Structure 1
Amino acid sequence: MNFLQIAPAVWQLSFPVGHVHVVRLPDGYALVDTGVPGSAPAVLDALERLGGRPRDLRQIVLTHSHVDHMGSAADLVAATGAALVAGALDAPFISGTAPEPQPVFTGPERVLREQVMAGSAEAGMPAAPPVPVDVELYDGGTLDGWAEPVRVLHVPGHTPGSIALHLPASGVLFPGDTIATVGDRAVLGPFNVDRKEAVASFRRLAALEVETVCVPHGQPLTRDAGAVLRAAAPEGDWV
């Protein structure tokens, strides 16, 4: 597990599958995503390393409903009392009131998925327990309690209710799985329910003014992030 500061108020906690981001608030902390099931102790340990206690976690933002993002949400809500917020269209999948739609795989994505699933099976990864969503987010919404304005963007394609968070004042972007990185390149995140929508969402995010992109998979973009996004060619990824 690697714990790295990537912006003045943002830390990246890396797991074998994906990253969790910890954000300092004026009166505590927020999380962006929660990792796979069983990640809660490591997340709470990271919070303690920053000087926080479980009760200091105010908010958990889920960018979407997949197990590597919501897997530890129920445990962390139970341990901290934090409010859980997520995109409105993914809320039924997170709360367990509707079945999650399945991705439509390209050929290369199917190979990658088989590799990921084999690794998950070997690790004995359990299913993510459902958890109620306290606040449902919509395009153009904001988040309360952060140190600067946070713009919520609905970025469908990876899942129907995927969201991104844009902090215009500091130029920080949390894109969810719409954007990943491979080396120093930004690529379209794989495993999308609607590839065309996902590419359009990628292009929408690439048009933003950003300095730091906190991707859930790959290395964060901390230099010339906007230029890296604009140079990307998501239409040609995973085909």
Structure 2
Amino acid sequence: MDTDTGTGTGTDTDTDTGTLTRITPTVWQLPFPVGHVYLVALPGDGYAAVDTGVPGSAPAVLGALARLGGRPDQLRQIVITHSHIDHMGSAADLVAATGARVLAGALDVPYIRGDAPEPPPVVTAGERPLREEMQAHFATAGLPPLRHVEVDIELHDGDTLDDWLEPVRVLHVPGHTPGGIALHLPHSGVLFPGDLIGAAPDGRRAVLGPFNVERETAIASFRRLAALGADIVCVPHGGPILTGARDVLAAATPERDWL
């Protein structure tokens, strides 16, 4: 299970799922109460989705695609940053509606396919109240059952997605889950970090994402992403970091978060 950043300055549970925000000329954010989805323009008339929201989110994602002028069959790729329910939860429904290919980090593929149980996080004392709150939220939200999905392409550290508008570097960033990935677009300075990085709603503070299977490994992955020098960080929880991202990440203290 995955949740908002809980930075002490608000959470992303106040976001409007009807709002489609343009982040760059080719990237849009569709916010959800838990776990945002990003739509990315591909060459020609295609689109990719980075993550899919919780089960039941597919209609909203397809609605956002329609607002961009896209048909369901124009969603060509779904990139799942990691296996948690708020990231892969609607992938199966979106594949059924669009025929999109699914890409994910190789070590998380067994959990996404449903071939193996997902390893539980090691919850710190600081994380425990938030986890209990989110478990209660999911229990009362009336979500459809999770449907696992086939992964078409297993991604590894150093892979490149060459069928985007610019080359995309894949980074294996374990710790939150064993096979979490991030996507870095060096030319445009955009980073999709998965849940290694969360942010305050205004994007002015970054934190280590909570609920990690290996906290020290997650901290190292956070630091690796911070060193990339990204200009825009499209976090799944909280507000995207749109200005001063290098300074925001440099000022972060993941070693002290959630204790």
Question: TM-score, normalising length from structure 2?
Answer: 0.91
* Contact 1:211 1:225 (8 Å CA) reproduced: yes
Residues 1:229 and 2:229 are matched in the alignment: no
Please, what is the CA RMSD of the aligned residues?
0.8
Q: 2:232 aligns with which of 187, 212, 223?
A: 212
* Contact 1:35 1:70 (8 Å CA) reproduced: yes
Residues 1:11 and 2:28 are matched in the alignment: yes
Distance in 1 between residues matched to 2:144 and 2:256, nearest whole Å: 33
* Contact 1:168 1:209 (8 Å CA) reproduced: no
Query: How many pairs align?
Result: 239
- Structure 1 residue ranges (4+ consecutive) displaced by more than 4 angstroms after TM superposition: none
Between 1 and 2, higher relative CO (CA 8 Å, sep ≥ 6) is seen in 2
Residues 1:121 and 2:153 are matched in the alignment: no
How far did 1:222 drift? 0.5
Q: 2:182 aligns with which of 164, 167, 184?
A: 164
Aligned residue type for 1:201: S
Aligned with 2:164: secondary structure?
Answer: coil
Distance in 2 between residues matched to 1:43 and 1:144, nearest whole Å: 24
Q: Which residue does the alignment assign to 2:220?
A: 200
* Pairing of 1:95-114 with structure 2 (within 5 A): 95-114=113-132
Q: Which residue does the alignment assign to 1:151?
A: 169
Q: 2:41 aligns with which of 8, 12, 24?
A: 24
Question: TM-score, normalising length from structure 1?
Answer: 0.98
How far did 1:160 drift? 0.1
Distance in 2 between residues matched to 1:238 and 1:127, nearest whole Å: 30
Aligned with 1:89: secondary structure?
Answer: helix
Runs of 5+ consecutive residues of structure 1 not aligned to the other structure:
none
How far did 1:18 drift? 1.8
Residues 1:76 and 2:94 are matched in the alignment: yes
